[in-house]
Chain A
Amino acid sequence: MASLSFRAIQKSYGSTKVLHHVDVQVGDGEYLVLVGPSGCGKSTLLRCIAGLEDISAGELWIGDRRVDQMAPRDRNVAMVFQSYALYPHMTVRENMGFALRVQRRPPAEIEAAVLQAAKMLELEHLLDRYPGQMSGGQRQRVAMGRAIVRRPDVFLFDEPLSNLDAALRHHMRVELKRLHRRLETTIVHVTHDQVEALTLADRILVLNGGYVQQFGSPRELFDTPANTFVAQFIGSPSMNLLPAVGSGGEVRIEGVEGALALDRSGPFTLGVRPTDLVVGSGPLKGRVDVIESMGAEALLHIELGPHTIVAQVPEPLRVRVDELVPLDVGVTHAFDRESGVRL
């Protein structure tokens, strides 16, 4: 167990810079989730921690050891690869025990460690199988087991749930939470699934194009997104963003009749989460364009002047397609028009 500290880390491939100044401290035993769109540098950052890639500038510390010049094998981190990377010629038992065999631990100790991890992951009945004889979810658990057996300082998970079906993914998400509570080891988990991020993380690091967008608890990211990127990336469906201008205690949305009672002046970007839209009363008028029913709730796609916004409302509905509905806003967010930064 150890804390993890990124100090002004940069990473370039030749002249292409893929990580710009990552400077973040992760506490001992924290569950850190790295999110961002495809190609934003998540895997690269993870591989830098593992030592599979060299960092171009900055320092990486695990606990009180500076590790960025160390070989992967000396860093005491365990990684669950996006592809699982199980040794195909070894049984589950041998896969999970490999790290300990490399360390020349006594066979009895290896067997005990493997059994304990297998029990935790419900893999006991699969110990003599080969990776080729198992389902995706089982392999995923073996990959996890191989990491657990090591008792590393830090776990690194690269999109470990991405290839599982929805039900299994949910199950494994719960398993991961349980595992973390039991082991209390620092975890860095990469995903591009914001639900995974919100449910698992103690803290989330949002990356975009190699830049850190925000670092904070799921609550912080959801309630006070640092910019329009985070605002749209975290939360599903995405936050509605509308160009607005305020003056004298009133805010008008461009191209829309009616004014909202908000205290802000000058042009800005107004952000409203679909759950924070009030349908049925209010100063604005929109036309219902599409209704997506999801059982307990429905998504209304509403034409508001030249804009289309999404509202999430409870079922049963009292509106029909093409109906004109009055609208109001609850909690709102304000961002700079140019930079997108939170005001």
Chain B
Amino acid sequence: MARRPSTPEVVLTHAAIVGITMVTLYPVLWVLEMAFSPSQSFSMDLSPIPSEVTLDNFRDVIGTFDDEGRWLFGRQLLNSVIVSVATAVLGLSLSTTAAYALSRWSFPGREQGMAAFLVTQMFPGVVMAIPLYLLLDLFGLLDSRTGLVLVYATTSVPFSVFTLKGYFDTIPVALEEAAMLDGASRWMTFRYIVLPLARPALAVTGLFSFMTAWNEFILALTLMGSEDAYTLPVVLQGYVGDFGTEWGRFAAGAVIVSLPVMALFFALQRHFVEGLTAGGVKG
């Protein structure tokens, strides 16, 4: 039986929760304040409530046009969306199949392959910026979304493979044997038994790949030369200048960039449930 907490306990607990929430939210509120304030200076105001509310910053960030009068921000947003979605889809399809093979079959080079995946994780992406630049240049993929997708998808594969392999390992092989005896082919077993059961892991790794691509800055800056090809993090960085930062626009941009990620989180939330395999096999 759970003991009923006493009144002082309830009060203290709630006070602590309110305190932690404030500490967490305060910086976010500050960003919001700057985004909605007309001033471009760094706000030193302690209060996160703006004294004057305006949407100018958002209008400025969204309403950028190139020399020929085309909507630049729209193009850049599209770059980010396409690159991130394609990275998630490509990365996920590569790593799902790879992880399944690594989980279910033993073949020469399996252990070495896994070790190699780990080794690649030791180097930060920047280390590869120059070789990647040369490679993309060789294939004429600089300044193109395809190039960026290839780079992101391949760098997200090792982590995704590890996560997914760990998850596949927990799915009992007997389920697949049962499906094969039920007349299912390898592919059908994978499609109708393994993939549905791996949904939580697929959602997590998919979201991870998407976010990696969505937030990545240094490689995007290095590999994308023209403004037309920029992704949003690069655009955002443009507001941090050598002679002064346009904090208001920067904050507005930050808010805009976070919204899709938050939306995605909420959309995928219900897939993050655990215990999908419960009850399939006893013991």
* Residues of chain A having any CB pair with chain B under 8 Å: 50-52, 71-73, 77-79, 81, 83-89, 98-99, 102-103, 130-134, 136, 139, 146, 150, 163
Contacts and interface: CB of A to CB of B under 8 A. Distances in A.
A79 B183 CA distance: 12
Nearest to B176: A85
Nearest to A97: B182
Nearest to B178: A85
A63 to B, nearest CB: 17
Contacts of A73: 180-185
A81 B177 contact: yes
B283 interface: yes
B122 interface: no
Contacts of B181: 50-52, 72-73, 77-79
Contacts of B192: 98
B283 to A, nearest CB: 6
A73 B184 CA distance: 7
A81 B175 CA distance: 9
10 contacts: A50-B177, A73-B180, A78-B182, A81-B178, A83-B282, A85-B172, A85-B280, A131-B280, A133-B279, A150-B182
Interface residues of B, number: 26
A289 to B, nearest CB: 39
Given A83-B172, A163-B282, A88 B277 contact: yes
B216 to A, nearest CB: 34
B283 A52 contact: no
B278 interface: yes
Given A89-B196, A89-B197, A84 B280 contact: yes
Contacts of A134: 279
A254 to B, nearest CB: 46
A177 B45 CA distance: 82
Contacts of A139: 279, 282
B174 interface: yes
A87 B281 contact: no
Nearest to B275: A132
A146 B178 CA distance: 10
B270 to A, nearest CB: 14
Contacts of A50: 177, 181
A172 B181 CA distance: 23
B193 interface: yes
B188 interface: yes
Interface string B177-211: 11111111100100011001100000000000000
Contact of A102 (B182, B281, B282): B182
A84 B281 contact: yes
Interface string B246-283: 00000000000000000000000000000111111111
B70 to A, nearest CB: 47
Contacts of B178: 79, 81, 85-87, 146
B104 to A, nearest CB: 13
Contact of B174 (A83, A89, A103): A83
Given A52-B177, A78-B181, A87-B193, A102 B280 contact: no
A89 B194 CA distance: 10
B179 to A, nearest CB: 7
A134 B283 CA distance: 14
A72 B282 CA distance: 23
Enumerate the 7 nearest inter-chain pairs by beta-carbon distance, A residue then B residue, closest first. Answer: A132-B279, A88-B280, A83-B281, A131-B279, A99-B182, A85-B174, A85-B178
A88 B276 contact: yes
Contact of B278 (A84, A103, A132, A163): A132
B279 to A, nearest CB: 3
Contact of B197 (A51, A79, A88): A88
Given A86-B279, A88-B280, A133-B279, A98 B182 contact: yes
A87 B183 contact: no
Nearest to A52: B177
Given A73-B183, A81-B174, A98-B182, A87 B280 contact: yes
Contacts of B283: 83, 163
